[in-house]
């Protein structure tokens, strides 16, 4: 059985380890996620007059809620079901419009979807955020309203990958030289023939030219009141996607990411173990 000093040291070490393990993970820039790495999270705030925001969980998420928070979004559940039901994302909807005491009605709740970047449409999740485990390369999306869909397709939600191709410089064609053949004397050249008189032209004979350039008598003019037509492609713009910054806070209602606690707790753990060992040695010496 452990004596009191050793038991105290072991208890402190266990507490330190448990606190260090619970430290939140940090998100990364959206470009850190791809079709095979990390989980990309899309939240459509256009219902509240905002933009479509995108975050990235670069690691292996334990569940969808873990990915959402690591990607930089804050969430709040309900008083009845806790985090199993996402009632608020980044403080929206506001508490004055939704108390989040119980499950809100469908028209006032977040719809949860998942997809791959190659999918043509989003798939509505029948599982909650704590039960769905997204594999690497998954896209998660949230839109506010009764089965409301995000304003961007999965192909547009994924971070575009830029590939740079380098083309090898073109090699100049090999120089070819005509074969040199020995000649005893230069080849004989024929005498130039008599210069033929220049051909007579119709202009010189005073005849009228056979063809004259044709010009439009009445060039087309644009009426000032004529309607102008524009292409639909030039007037249609894709929804704006705002990326979460890599240094942004990890979404967590109970912790502040980016703090030096993990390093400090490691030092405290080593100190606690050292104090326990020292106390044990002293106790053994006193008994001896």
Say if 165 falls within a structural domain.
no
Cα dihedral 139, 141, 146, 149, rounded to 10, equals -70
Residues 14 and 44 in one domain: no
* pLDDT value of residue 260: 44
Residues 40 and 3 in one domain: no
Residues 100 and 18 in one domain: no
Residues 126 and 264 in one domain: no
Residues 52 and 1 in one domain: no
Residues 6 and 50 in one domain: no
Residue 114's DSSP bridge partners are: 123, 140
Say if 209 falls within a structural domain.
no
* pLDDT value of residue 245: 72
Length of the chain in terms of residues written: 288
Q: Is the pLDDT of residue 255 over 90?
A: no
Instruction: Calculate the average pLDDT of the chain.
Output: 73
CATH of the domain at 117: 2.170.130.30
Q: Is the pLDDT of residue 225 over 80?
A: no
DSSP letter at 260 equals S
Given the structure tokens 């030039």, which residue do they identify? 234
Residues 2 and 31 in one domain: no
Say if 124 falls within a structural domain.
yes
CA within 13 Å, CB half, 37: 10
Across 247-273, average pLDDT: 47
Say if 194 falls within a structural domain.
no
Say if 90 falls within a structural domain.
yes
Selection from 106, 112, 43 nearest residue 71 by Cα: 43
* pLDDT value of residue 229: 45
CA pseudo-torsion sign 220, 225, 231, 235: positive
Selection from 258, 259, 252 nearest residue 74 by Cα: 252
* pLDDT value of residue 258: 38
Region of poorest pLDDT, from 7-21, 145-159, 223-237, 246-260: 246-260
Residues 148 and 40 in one domain: yes
39, 59 Cβ separation under 8 angstroms:
no
Between 255 and 184, the more confident residue is: 184
Residues 263 and 250 in one domain: no
Q: Tell me the pLDDT tens digit for each residue of 155-206.
A: 999 988 665 455 556 666 666 555 545 454 555 555 444 445 555 544 443 4
* pLDDT value of residue 237: 56
* pLDDT value of residue 244: 85
Percent of the chain with pLDDT over 90: 45
Domain that holds residue 287: 1-22+258-288
* pLDDT value of residue 116: 97
Residues 249 and 272 in one domain: no
How many domains are contained in the chain? 2
Residues 65 and 126 in one domain: yes
């Amino acid at each position: 059985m452990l004596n009191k000093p050793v038991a105290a040291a072991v208890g402190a070490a266990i507490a330190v380890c448990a606190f260090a393990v619970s430290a939140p993970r940090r998100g990364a820039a959206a470009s850190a996620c791809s079709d095979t790495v990390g989980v990309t999270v899309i939240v459509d705030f256009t219902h509240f007059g905002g933009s479509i925001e995108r975050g990235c969980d670069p690691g292996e998420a334990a569940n969808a809620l873990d990915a959402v928070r690591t990607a930089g979004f804050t969430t709040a559940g309900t008083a009845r079901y806790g985090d199993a039901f996402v009632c608020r994302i980044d403080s929206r909807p506001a508490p004055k419009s939704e108390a989040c005491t119980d499950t809100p009605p469908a028209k006032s709740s977040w719809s949860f979807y998942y997809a791959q970047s190659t999918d043509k449409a989003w798939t509505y999740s029948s599982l909650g955020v704590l039960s769905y485990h997204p594999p690497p390369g998954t896209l998660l999306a949230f839109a506010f309203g009764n089965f409301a869909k995000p304003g961007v397709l999965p192909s547009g939600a994924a971070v575009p990958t830029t590939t740079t191709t380098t083309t090898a410089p073109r090699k100049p064609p090999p120089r070819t030289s005509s074969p040199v053949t020995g000649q005893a004397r230069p080849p004989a050249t024929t005498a130039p023939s008599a210069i033929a008189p220049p051909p007579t032209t119709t202009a010189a004979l005073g005849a009228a030219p056979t063809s004259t350039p044709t010009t439009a008598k009445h060039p087309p003019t644009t009426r000032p009141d004529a309607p102008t037509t524009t292409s639909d492609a030039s007037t249609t713009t894709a929804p704006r996607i705002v990326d979460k910054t890599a240094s942004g806070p990890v979404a967590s209602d109970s912790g502040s990411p980016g703090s030096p606690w993990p390093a400090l707790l490691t030092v405290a753990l080593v100190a606690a173990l050292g104090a326990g060992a020292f106390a044990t040695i002293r106790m053994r010496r006193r008994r001896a």
